[in-house]
Structure 1
Amino acid sequence: MKILVINSGSSSLKYQLFDMTDKSVLVSGLVERIGADVSGLKHKKHPDTDTEQVFVEEKGMPDHKAALERVVELIVDPDKGVIASAEEINAVGHRVLHGGDEFIAPSLIDDKVIATIEKFIPLGPLHNPANLMGIRVAMKMFAVPHVAIFDTAFHQTMPAEAYMYALPYELYEELRIRRYGFHGTSHKYIVREGAKQLGKNPEDVNLITVHLGNGSSMAAVRNGKCVDTTMGLTPLEGLLMGTRSGDIDPAVIYFLHQQKGMSFDEIDTLLNKKSGFLGVCGMSDMRDIHAAIEKGDERCKLALEMFAYRNKKYIGSYLAALGKVDAIIFTAGIGENDDVARAMSLEGLEGLGIVLDLEANGKRFSEAGLISAPESAIQVWVIPTNEELEIAEQTMEVIKAS
């Protein structure tokens, strides 16, 4: 079975084609700046270790339809592609940001699913319209099952005491204001892989999954199911991120409006795009921040310390929420590659049974690796995430069940 995975953004289209017989990636790519005068496309025919297998071009692509048509041309191209015809694609899996509290699992896309995704546009105003655009274009091009994989779905097992805000209850009833959580596809993949590394079934493990990247989130997982997560109504809540503030006193919003005369749109932009690492030290890429710290930049040092301290606080709170934890698992760009950030996030937690093996932690990981010391009561792992493969696997599960 061949499954095409699509992640449609407002001006971008990411794609991967999987052969699910061995879960291998056949081709992958990214179209950027859709709608601009010149769009950029990068297309890889796997294995991607051969540089000749990478094709790059710049050309005008006025909309997602034109972008997807060009992607299909490349997938079936005798030199750049891997299949003879688009008819060899058996299904399409779509990443969708927000499924509200109505989707707790992946869903076969029909008119009702599309209408529900539309209903939750106010909760995902930037992403859901773009996701729908990709779905509609792809459904016209491929007469095969299409499956929506929701970023929020994994977290819908949270109990009410974890997902409710202490606001007037009518606001929840009327507007569905509650905590939803995001990065669910990544967290679910890590739970599966983490359980495998521990030699257990997912329903038998308690984990803290730590997804650290430009966007960061953490999940408390009991018996394989999410019982709490750091992100909330939107991806703004929780950990300190590349350009997002994470947790703040809500009164800051009113204070900025009152003292600076800022509009609510301006404050929203400030919190989502001008805060986090960027706001504190003027940089959002962790590699740049580490380089600046080595040169004595105190603001970058402060930003890293704030990041690690926030991570540590959430890890501690999730240890308390779960009671028993089998493993803490780091993933995503920073989580997989930044040994300093990992060590700082766990520093001083030896009394809680978390002991890092500093030599193991200093390694680079292309696959799962144990970084805790033998005497650590709680194992610590680095496991590279693979959201696209998780989307493909969930798509295949839906098709087999339908």
Structure 2
Amino acid sequence: MNTMKSYIAKSVDKIPPSGIRKFFDLAANMEGVVSLGVGEPDFVTSWSVREAAISSLERGYTSYTANAGLIELRRAIADYMRERFQAEYDPEQEIIVTSGGSEALDIALRTIIDPGDEIAVVEPCFVSYGPLVQLAGGNVVSIGTLAQNDFKLQPEELERAITPKTKALLICSPNNPTGTQLAREDLIAICDIVKKYDLLVIADEIYAELAYDIPHTSFASLEGMKERTILINGFSKGFAMTGWRLGFTCAPKEISKAMLKVHQYTMMCASTPAQYAAIEALQNGMEYVEEMKNDYRRRRNFFVESLNELGLDCHMPGGAFYAFPSIKGTGLSSEQFAEQLLLSEKVAVVPGHVFGKGGEGYIRCSYASSIEQLQEAIKRMKRFLASL
């Protein structure tokens, strides 16, 4: 009999496990850890949203919904996209409710990639982007960004990376792990290149509600971009609904119809109670979203200023809830820094190298923790740096 490993697909075997989970699992087995590792709101989902889910269960709404999701939810998403981001979508044909933003991204990539197609991925980026492209049969073309440009994609770097095999650009703004937010003028410059080379854009806008200094601009709202954009969004980050596993895609109807086929055979539909909860979140939850955002902004200002005072140079992130400071001055690799900080001071951060090109020499710190926890983390990090 063959070894068990010989039965595993090569495409799966060569993909490394998540670097984020490695440090989270280490921290989970230690007492007294201040965790700045996992990107998850520390707020509880608002009561009215939880109550809507409970009510749906009490009314017996426990069956499958339409594959694309409850039409009431899709209409609410269409209203939300129009009112918040000036992007018009047909809820009947252009919106799919998914089991989280991760499934939304997966079905988008599997829908558009033929074997050998190239997807240009802006890095540093979320750890799943590269593996999902590879699992769909595509090849990743990494486009690095630099701290001196606040980790913003430069149009000339995008153009330099494009080949005849390039099918799409995958980009996230506000960004995980850097917190970088692209302003409207930044996006327009990128869109000019996208149109020139007839590319699609997969726009991960899961952090759209967490933009602190300037309003979020959606790719799909820009002239000529709706018809070439697959927009990924969801409820996890802005609405503090990570465990509900609810996302959505907005895309031209031809692409949405194709993505729905992949979704049908993968998930059937998203959780029914979660969908009723999401309707309530969109219709009555925006005040809570604003309260959370204002709290994150205060935490960001304190934490980033404190990192810079420690000598860990860090740009001011425009969105999400991550700081991405440089640790190059310590002489340690990002993995060495993260491991030693965890073992000696019990502060969990994520080494930057797991986020791809340009991430080495940095660490990702989530400030989705209380001010008291952040203050304690800074105190411990100061002690750690003094010991080096």
* TM surpasses 0.5: no
TM-score computed with the length of structure 1 as normaliser: 0.27
Higher relative contact order (CA 8 A, sep 6+): 2
TM-score computed with the length of structure 2 as normaliser: 0.28
